[in-house]
Amino acid sequence: MKKLVVGISGASGIPLAVRLLKELKKQPDVETHLVMTRGAEMTLHQETPYSLKEICDMADVVYDNHNLGASIASGTFQNDGMIVIPCSMKTIAGIAHGYSDNLLLRACDVMIKEKRKLILVARESPLSTIHLDNLSYLSKLSGVVIMPPMLTYYQLPQSIDDLEIHIVGKILSQFGIELEDFKRWK
Ligand SMILES: Cc1cc2nc3c(=O)[nH]c(=O)nc-3n(C[C@H](O)[C@H](O)[C@H](O)COP(=O)(O)O)c2cc1C
């Protein structure tokens, strides 16, 4: 059984997190551990028709972002890595500077100190020098992968759904999870 920690922060792109959780739900051998920031809760209502409860129901285990005593705050909790999707520039700054004042940030801190895989689906536009410096620093750390949710056209998308599945498919490929609808370049 793979255990993946999923963090959702308050950047635009909550539908990508929804899609990721839905795809992981279809994987019988993956257990998802979800933590959401307050910013994510606000953006969720702005960008999707889902309630907080509906999102939480898509995960196997859900944590309160204020609970710094939760299992994912410790390196002794065994898991296969973490995805922060979408990842705001505030959360990027917190991760880059080890400023772990909420559970999502602490879980990222743990991934880095344990040298586990940490995928950051960082989203902002335009990116400032501060954002780029933080992203550049993080990209040099073992296990950290910066994967902004960039649009791709080579798979000839017909819908937003097609664009989203390509982004989510690429992210999950990092963990060896292959989605049925993910079209690789041949
Ligand atoms: C509708 C909406 C969209 C936002 N989009 C972004 C974004 O794409 N990138 C970003 O860095 N911040 C974005 N923000 C701002 C963050 O939500 C804000 O900086 C927040 O403090 C992030 O905190 P968190 O990382 O703890 O969720 C957005 C806010 C709102 C309300």
For ligand 1, is residue 42 a contact (CB within 6 Å)?
yes
| Cα separation, 114 vs 106, whole angstroms | 12
- The annotation status of 125 as a binding-site residue, yes or no, is no
**Domain extents in the chain:** 2-150
What's the 185 CA to ligand 1 centre distance in angstroms?
A: 33
For ligand 1, is residue 134 a contact (CB within 6 Å)?
no
| Cα separation, 96 vs 105, whole angstroms | 10
Of all protein residues, whose CA lies closest to atom 22 belonging to ligand 1? 10
For ligand 1, is residue 122 a contact (CB within 6 Å)?
no
CATH tag for 2-150 (out of 3.10.110.10, 3.40.50.150, 3.40.50.1950, 3.40.50.10860): 3.40.50.1950
Q: Would you give per-residue pLDDT tens digits along the chain (186 residues)?
A: 999 999 999 999 999 999 999 999 999 999 999 999 999 999 999 999 999 999 999 999 999 999 999 999 999 999 999 999 999 999 999 999 999 999 999 999 999 999 999 999 999 999 999 999 999 999 999 999 999 999 999 999 999 999 999 999 999 999 999 998 888 888
| Cα separation, 141 vs 3, whole angstroms | 22
- The annotation status of 11 as a binding-site residue, yes or no, is yes
